[in-house]
Amino acid sequence: MIAFNFALRNPWTHGFDNLWCRSYKTIFEHKFIELEFIRDCILVSFGFSWTVRQSHAGLDLEAGLFGYCVHFNFYDNRHWNYEKKVWETYEENLL
């Protein structure tokens, strides 16, 4: 995992509001993109995270300025099985 985060928050502001959020399927199996626009107590923020071999692994980017934040996430929708070191699969038997 590689991660870098910086955030400077306004301590006198409280609250969170999700202004817009969408999730999109990609051409890759089990991969999704999520875009989000939120309002919170951020003055300045930047976040970068790249994860592998863990649940919902992928790229996560966030940038915020003066109370508004844009969040981009490219992730795998599967869970990681740490004991077997493989992605968990859920087979559904519909009768």
Q: Where are the beta strands (DSSP E) in the chain?
A: 2-9, 17-25, 31-39, 42-50, 58-65, 68-76, 80-81, 86-87
Q: Residue for token digits 């006198």?
A: 12
List pLDDT tens digits, range 58-95: 999 999 999 999 999 999 988 888 888 888 877 654 44
Give the predicted TM-score (pTM) of the model. Answer: 0.82
Residue ranges of the domains in the chain?
A: 2-87
